[in-house]
Structure 1
Amino acid sequence: MKSVEVSKVSEMSKVSAAMALNGKARTRFLLLLVLASSSPCMALMFTAVGPVLPGLAQHFARGGDGAFAAQLIMTMPGIGIALGGLVTGWAVERLGARALLLGSLLTYALAGFAGFYVDALSVLLFTRLLTGLAAAGCATSTLAIIAQRFEPEQRACILGYQSAAGSAVGLVSLLVAGGVGEAYGWRAPFFLYLLALPVLLVATAVVPAVRSQANAQRPPRQTGHNDRHPLLALLPVYLLIVLVFAAVFMNAVQLSFLLAQSGITSPGVQSWVMATSALACMVGAASYGRVRSWVGDRWIFCICLALMGGGYVLMGSSHLMMPMIVGCGIAAIGGGCVGPYLAVVLLDRAAPSVRGRASGFMFTALYLGDFVNPLVVNPLRASFGIHQAFVLVGAILSFFALVVLFRSAMLHRTSV
């Protein structure tokens, strides 16, 4: 009789252990979904509005230049991200990553949805700025949580999946916003921002309350020194991010001009080429962790630069549709892979006491690259033409890929 009772207790303990493991696995999966949400939030800022820009321009033409107003509505979140990167890094260290993430998701949903009912241009621009600030808060807080709770190898995979999720949501939301906007008007796609509310509910349940880094692991203050020095040491990384993303944004900023110069002026055809770029970017980001485990840290950056350089050279060297699509896809794979690489480099080099600010500044540097792209490419386009500009940018990237390859080979030979 006792043996039967013991066996029942043993079976019950096994069932309880299995349920506990399933609960932990479910919580971990939901946490990863929340951590992957920051890139989709950034993508949605632009893709939800892009297809309805003509409707926005027509609506606000009543009070002035409608096209200019629509462009301001489109670009204002980018300004919010650039400014938010300077603020949210400080906030994540003072308030904690969980509090910043929950507040940012709520602000993102409310400010993003405001476009559905706001009619005054000034108010709409302000809410769009708030949307960008909130997206920066989501990105900084999720990056801080990834840095705090996961080992370097896990970070690489998670950051890759995060970027891939952004590309996937950007592609799908672009199509959804176009269809919804055509059927129900330019205000309808603003409903998409309410998708942040379910993410907020899940985040409330699964995101741990990690203590802030304001006083944790900070070295003692010394005369004539302060905690800015760890950030100053990261300036080369930020400069690299600006330069690399100025090249990454070639597809986003310059692709339509390249296609138009080749006689491909149909918006429908151009959108499919851009969708190919988004899909390839998703593939590159999702495969980053696996490729990194195969080739190692020494070679991954070289591969990214080579893919981008080769893709841009192929795009600029041809006036035919298919080679440009292939080149666009190759470059986008490299661009999707290089984003997680630079994030991993930054997290690995940043001191734990300043990781919050370091993460925030990264997004400022990233969108500064978006701003730098036309400043660099437009003079090249004016002097040599858009095709030659793509070839020159691709050649420069290929040259630096060879430099990185040579340096990696020398370091490998020295270590051996």
Structure 2
Amino acid sequence: MEARLNQGSAVNVRKLAGFAFLLGIVPQAMIEAAVTAALPESARDLGVNGEFMAQMMMGMGALGLMLGAFLSGRVLERFGSRQTYLASLVALGLFGGAGLIVENVWLLFGSRVIAGFAASCITTTCMWGITSSFEAAGRGRRFGMAGSIGGLSAIASVITGGFLTQHLGWRFAFIQYVVVALTFLPFIAASVEQRHPESMHSNTGGFLGRVAPLYVQVLVLYSVIGMFSMQLPFMLNAAGMVDAGARSLIQGIPGLGVIFGGVVYGVLHQRIGAVWTLISSVGLFGLGLLSIATNHAVVPLTLGAAAAGLCMGMSMPYFYHAVSGRTGAAAGRYLGYLSACTFFGVFSNPMIFEPLKAMTGVRGLFLMSAGILIVMAAATALTSLRKPTAAPS
């Protein structure tokens, strides 16, 4: 009898740990989402180059995510899953919430980098936890579920940040990090056990050649997604949506797309194959950008936001699944590198896409971005037709 009770208790703990790993995408989704609706308002308070500085504030969070993604695999190997998760939550609450009180813009930027780093460590820990706990079929489903949870949290964070900005001021958007950290800490402490990747597998090298083409695809795709995310609040503001709360409702639409894309990823994966799921999502987003290039009104922007969300929701499970399948025991580290590629777009936007916008205008920027995605989808399709086993199906 006692043995059955102990076995049942162990099963319940494993289920709780599995749910804790699914929640790990939430802080990463919030790093950008929590403050994106506040960009136009913060731009008015951040000096002469306010729009650039506001985008840099968001970009510094992405820089932290990118640095954390490169290093989080090593952090996980050194400190283990439980310690990494809990310490990163504490850092997220402290430094993410620093925007409430920090006035100096450079200290604000620094706090954003640290908060992003912490969120990235949480995500890598959880993606490794899923990879090490489930077989290939189960991993695919849970990566899709994690993407949907991330989309839902992004919606909630964008809308909450928008209404906090509208009614209390843009700095109150940062309180969301504190709330999430305090809410998650007791649950994670009770459910996640201490494990080290190297305790099961010691060989973590030699896989870069297998995943490099995937990283290139992610760099291209998420650079364009980052550009769109940065430009959307300013374009909505220029289209007449001057209230942060109203803007946040449109900016939450990509989160809905992520949820829907994550839910249907498994179905499309089985019916048309993994690569064609990716191709369809990239092509759809490219067409959305093309429509925005011809009309900057609220409706095309809304449709473009939905296309961006669908693209993220359908593509990210593909990339997580593909990288974990090609790297096996070393997945924790290589999933971290994958995440770094996704954040480069947001970080690079003020330095790359803003100068391009100054030269070509908004229409030219979106036309060029749409062309990049359509070419990427076509090239991927041709590669798949020539070598159909190149990616997991």
Settle same-fold status: TM greater than 0.5. yes
C-alpha contact (below 8 Å) 1:249/1:373 kept by paired residues: yes
Separation (CA, whole Å) in 2 of partners of 1:51 and 1:29: 35
Using the TM superposition, give the Cα deviation of residue 234 of structure 1 relative to its aligned residue in structure 2, in angstroms.
3.1
Separation (CA, whole Å) in 1 of partners of 2:62 and 2:389: 43
Partner of 2:137: 153
- Give SS of 1:267's match: coil
Structure 1 window deviating more from structure 2 (126-135 vs 138-147): it is 126-135
Structure 1 window deviating more from structure 2 (45-54 vs 186-195): it is 45-54
C-alpha contact (below 8 Å) 2:227/2:345 kept by paired residues: no
1:408 aligns with 2:384: yes
Q: Would the alpha carbon gap of residues 382 and 300 (structure 1) be closer, same or farther in structure 2, given more than 3 Å must change?
A: same
Separation (CA, whole Å) in 2 of partners of 1:301 and 1:26: 35
- Give SS of 1:234's match: helix
Partner of 1:10: none
Q: Deviations over 1:4-38 (max 9, x none)?
A: xxxxxxxxx7xx969965x5675455334322333
1:82 aligns with 2:66: yes
Q: How does 1:63-74 map to 2 (within 5 A)?
A: 72-74=56-58
Partner of 1:45: 31
Q: Would the alpha carbon gap of residues 132 and 298 (structure 1) be closer, same or farther in structure 2, given more than 3 Å must change?
A: closer
Separation (CA, whole Å) in 1 of partners of 2:378 and 2:226: 21
C-alpha contact (below 8 Å) 2:27/2:119 kept by paired residues: yes
Structure 1 window deviating more from structure 2 (177-186 vs 192-201): it is 177-186
1:109 aligns with 2:84: no
Separation (CA, whole Å) in 2 of partners of 1:125 and 1:314: 34
Partner of 1:6: none
Using the TM superposition, give the Cα deviation of residue 290 of structure 1 relative to its aligned residue in structure 2, in angstroms.
2.9
Separation (CA, whole Å) in 2 of partners of 1:191 and 1:401: 39
Identical-pair percentage: 25
Question: Which of 372, 375, 380 is the matching residue for 1:399?
Answer: 375
Superposed CA RMSD in Å reads: 3.5
Using the TM superposition, give the Cα deviation of residue 333 of structure 1 relative to its aligned residue in structure 2, in angstroms.
0.9
Partner of 1:266: 241
C-alpha contact (below 8 Å) 2:131/2:324 kept by paired residues: yes
Partner of 1:133: 117
C-alpha contact (below 8 Å) 2:76/2:196 kept by paired residues: no
Please, which runs of 5 or more residues in structure 2 have no aligned partner? none
Q: How does 1:7-406 map to 2 (within 5 A)?
A: 26-52=12-38, 72-118=56-102, 121-194=105-178, 195-213=180-198, 216-218=200-202, 228-256=205-233, 264-268=239-243, 270-352=247-329, 354-372=330-348, 377=353, 381=357, 384-406=360-382
Separation (CA, whole Å) in 2 of partners of 1:387 and 1:361: 32
With the length of structure 2 as denominator, give the TM-score of the two structures: 0.83
Amino acid at match of 1:322: V
Figure out how many residues of one structure are paired with residues of the other and give that number: 387
C-alpha contact (below 8 Å) 1:309/1:395 kept by paired residues: yes
Separation (CA, whole Å) in 1 of partners of 2:212 and 2:176: 36
- Give SS of 1:208's match: coil
Q: Would the alpha carbon gap of residues 319 and 107 (structure 1) be closer, same or farther in structure 2, given more than 3 Å must change?
A: closer
For the pair shown, which has the larger CA radius of gyration, 1 or 2?
1
C-alpha contact (below 8 Å) 1:316/1:388 kept by paired residues: yes
- Give SS of 1:130's match: helix
C-alpha contact (below 8 Å) 2:239/2:296 kept by paired residues: no
Using the TM superposition, give the Cα deviation of residue 258 of structure 1 relative to its aligned residue in structure 2, in angstroms.
5.5
C-alpha contact (below 8 Å) 1:280/1:330 kept by paired residues: yes
Please, which runs of 5 or more residues in structure 1 have no aligned partner? 1-12, 220-226
Q: Would the alpha carbon gap of residues 274 and 388 (structure 1) be closer, same or farther in structure 2, given more than 3 Å must change?
A: same
